Chains A and B, each alone.
Chain A
């Protein structure tokens, strides 16, 4: 029965794809016609000054068309030079590199980081789940996800869920989408953003590791993307988004989130907490030995996450510009400081600085600086690094024990707490000196003080994010539980998911 549904689903996608290919063909002549100006007399060429200004826009990451003269109706009075409507090589190169770096965070960074922390009988299940999510989310992204998040024009749900203009990535070409970047191809931008959509649900895997059915994970993630991630990403990053404080002048909440404190870390972290409570504790928790089976893999994965995160954070400038440069610096500072402070606290409290402490500190630093990296200065990053080494530590070491939930690999302690802290600290530490774009729509919110009005906007965004993640996850988890069940049989869990669900073992003695 299941097989028929899968086959039907694949056939539906194929049909959709072929339909959109046909649609492209019929549109082609029309598009060519609109490219050539409708007014019959050819416009004069742009002046040398205008052409130079368009080139300078490439260096400054601004709009190359701004220098071209227009009449009172807004129609151009000169023909655009060849620098308009195309990607800039440097910016595009950095964004393709960044997209690959962000994918590298999931495959293999995250699966090694998480995989080392589980018992040896479950290492392959983590890898399978990460790969499964990469494929599934890519399909959703192409079919409707990218459009739901980044399409402009009238939203299907105003400010929350975009329209289907870019469904099947129709019209997403190598030309830039100037709502998001003047010099980056939209197809590159869409693939870059896809990598965020892949890693976010993969982060949830940490909380539910070693005890959720593979099929249930796929169904849960599919629904969660549609009902939680796509709406949240549209709200925060979509040009019409109701929480896009930086670029949407009409945003009802003037919040800011540079690389995904709310969209990625809070959404996954809070959902992870809810899902791991609904799922229940692992068999034998907390009596049995759940020690990580390979701290070496975890440490390797952490290094890959740190390196990949430069694409995540500095890449979120969607240009190789000064904002990206600032994000690169603040990411380094906060991460290095947090990776030092966390084991230092352990050393003081427990007597030994552990490798897992270094790794956890690094990830916590990366999480907390994520929403802030493009908006804070070096000293702001230093403060963030210190707090990121202390507060998530406290949640992993103390709070988890007090409440007794089985957040297996501390997704909540690191990502939910880190993301929430990051969103708040971004509100307190965002400075005009770090990012000139803050002056565009947020002049009265960012006043360069610790308790500037932006803090209140951030608190509103935090509330909405937690609400959406918690309610969405409760609803989806119970739907999946009713439909196909979420927990494997006890026997499967004790044998290990690798052998029982995937028919393989990670390690053999021969």
Chain B
């Protein structure tokens, strides 16, 4: 099993979700996160005061899938989340040892 963590622009979440659903991926975990890469932050001005905001809001999508689905899932995410501009985000892939569906106690690929 693989875990895919994708950091994407918040407004791309809907498209990424649909693209994953299209290739049969049935669940995901989404969180609102903050961070920066090459895009860096921006400045905000309130009356005479100027503040640099280093951490930008992003969305982290986490999915755990069978090994066979890995390439299709990454391709779907990249295609849906790409704008071509700096700040589109990144996809990280890692191995997952095991998984359990709590309701049925199924294990491994059957659980994800």
Residues of A within 8 A of B (CB): 117, 286, 289-292, 350, 352, 354, 356, 360, 396-398, 400-401, 410, 413
Contacts and interface: CB of A to CB of B under 8 A. Distances in A.
Contacts of B46: 117, 291-292, 354, 356
Classify the secondary structure of B's interface with A. Answer: strand
B63 to A, nearest CB: 24
B52 to A, nearest CB: 8
Contacts of B49: 286, 290-291
Nearest to A397: B48
Contacts of B53: 289, 291
Contacts of B47: 356, 360, 396-397, 410, 413
21 contacts: A117-B46, A289-B51, A289-B52, A289-B53, A290-B49, A290-B51, A291-B44, A291-B49, A291-B51, A291-B53, A292-B46, A350-B45, A352-B45, A354-B45, A356-B47, A360-B47, A397-B47, A397-B48, A400-B48, A410-B47, A413-B47
Contacts of A356: 46-47
Contacts of A352: 45
Nearest to B48: A397
A294 to B, nearest CB: 12
Closest 4 pairs (CB-CB, A-B): A397-B48, A396-B47, A291-B51, A289-B51
Contacts of A292: 46
Interface string B20-49: 000000000000000000000000111111
Which among B44, B48, B51, B52 has the highest number of chain A CB atoms within 10 Å?
B48
Contacts of B51: 289-291
Nearest to B45: A350
A347 to B, nearest CB: 12
A203 B48 CA distance: 20
A350 B44 CA distance: 11
Interface in B45-61: 45-49, 51-53
B111 to A, nearest CB: 29
Nearest to B54: A289
B45 A396 contact: no
A352 B51 CA distance: 15
A292 B46 CA distance: 8
Contacts of A397: 47-48
Nearest to A355: B46
A397 B47 CA distance: 6
Given A117-B46, A398-B48, A400-B48, 20 more contacts: A286-B49, A289-B51, A289-B52, A289-B53, A290-B49, A291-B44, A291-B49, A291-B51, A291-B53, A292-B46, A352-B45, A354-B45, A354-B46, A356-B47, A360-B47, A396-B47, A396-B48, A397-B47, A397-B48, A401-B48
Contacts of B45: 350, 352, 354
A285 to B, nearest CB: 10
Which among B45, B47, B49, B52 has the highest number of chain A CB atoms within 10 Å?
B47
B68 to A, nearest CB: 38
B42 to A, nearest CB: 12
Nearest to B44: A291
Nearest to A357: B47
Contacts of A396: 47-48
A393 to B, nearest CB: 8
Contacts of B52: 289
Interface string B65-92: 0000000000000000000000000000
A350 B48 CA distance: 10
A401 B52 CA distance: 17
A360 B53 CA distance: 23
A396 B49 CA distance: 9
A354 B49 CA distance: 13
Nearest to A402: B48
B50 to A, nearest CB: 9
Contacts of A350: 45
Contacts of A398: 48
A396 B44 CA distance: 16
A288 B88 CA distance: 28
A398 B49 CA distance: 10
A203 to B, nearest CB: 17
B48 to A, nearest CB: 4
Contacts of A400: 48
B95 to A, nearest CB: 32
A411 B12 CA distance: 42
B7 to A, nearest CB: 21
A350 B53 CA distance: 18
Contacts of A289: 51-53
Nearest to A346: B45
A67 B40 CA distance: 78
B73 to A, nearest CB: 30
A410 B48 CA distance: 10
A352 B49 CA distance: 14
A276 B49 CA distance: 17
Contacts of A410: 47
Nearest to A291: B51
A137 B69 CA distance: 70
Contacts of A117: 46
A398 B48 CA distance: 7
A350 B52 CA distance: 16
Nearest to A400: B48
B46 to A, nearest CB: 5
A356 B50 CA distance: 13
Nearest to B49: A290
Nearest to B47: A396
A43 B49 CA distance: 72
